[in-house]
Structure 1
Amino acid sequence: MKFGYMSVSKVDLNSAQKKQLEDFGCDRIFLENINSSRRNRPELNRLIEFLREGDTVVVTDLTRLSRSTKDLMAVIERISQKGAHLKSLKESWIDTNSDDGKILLTYLANITQFESELTTLQNKEVVQAANRIKKKRKEILSSISRLSTSQQKQIIGHLDELITISYDMLFRN
Structure 2
Amino acid sequence: MQKNTLAIVLIILGLIVLAFPLLGLVPISILTGLGVAFLGIGLILAGFSDRAENSGLGLLEIVLGIIALVLGLGFILNPGLFSFVAGLLVAMAGLFLIIIGIVAVFTKAGGSRWNGVVAIIIGIIYLIFGYIIKDPFWLGALIGLWLLITGILMFFQKD
TM-score scaled by structure 2? 0.24
Of structures 1 and 2, the one scoring higher in RCO (CA 8 A, sep 6+) is 2
* Higher fraction of strand: 1
Decide which structure has the larger Cα Rg and report it.
1
TM-score scaled by structure 1? 0.22
* Higher fraction of helix: 2
